[in-house]
Amino acid sequence: VQLQASGGGLVQAGESLRLTCVASGSVSEINEINALAWYSQGPGKQRTLVAAMNRDGDTNYADSAKGRFTISRDNAKNTVHLQMNSLTPEDTAVYYCVATRYGITAQAGNYAYWGQGTQVTVSS
Q: Tell me the per-residue pLDDT of 59-83, one tens digit each, with 9 for 90 and over.
A: 999 999 999 999 999 989 999 999 9
Phi–psi pair at 54, nearest 5 degrees: -95, 180
Q: What is the pLDDT of residues 14-45, one digit of tens each?
A: 999 999 999 999 999 999 999 999 999 999 99
Separation between Cα atoms, residue 52 and residue 122, nearest integer Å: 22
Whether 78 and 23 have beta carbons less than 8 Å apart is answered as: yes
Contact criterion met (CB below 8 Å) for 53 and 37: yes
Q: Computed from CA positions of residues 82, 17, 21, 117, in that sequence, does the dihedral angle turn out positive or negative?
A: negative
